Amino acid sequence: MIEKEKPRDYYTTAEIAKILGKAEFTVREWARNGRIWAEKRQCGRGRSREWMISHVELERIQNEGLLPG
């Protein structure tokens, strides 16, 4: 029996892009322009930060689309 992968709390822009069939650049632009709810989080070492999108927001995007720009 194959089990469905459990949803994660947060996804990277690359993961969201793959799920939605979009380019990662597009998802980053949506986040930067406020078209989706995303937050910058520390990643790895150093000062670099990347956009993270919650599972709840992923479901909202899939059901309702982008926020008004």
Query: Residue 48: its pLDDT value, please?
Result: 79
Query: Residue 30: its pLDDT value, please?
Result: 98
Query: Residue 43: its pLDDT value, please?
Result: 74
Residues of the chain with pLDDT under 50: none
> C-alpha dihedral over 4, 17, 31, 28, to 10 degrees?
140
Name which of 8, 9, 6, 13 is nearest 52 in CA terms: 13
**Domain boundaries, position 32:** 10-48+55-64
Number of domains the chain contains: 1
Kindly state whether residue 3 falls inside one of the protein's structural domains: no
Contacts of 36 (CB under 8 A, 6+ apart): 27, 30, 53, 57, 61, 66, 67
Query: Residue 42: its pLDDT value, please?
Result: 82
Kindly state whether residue 25 falls inside one of the protein's structural domains: yes
Kindly state whether residue 1 falls inside one of the protein's structural domains: no
Q: What is the pTM assigned to this prediction? A: 0.85
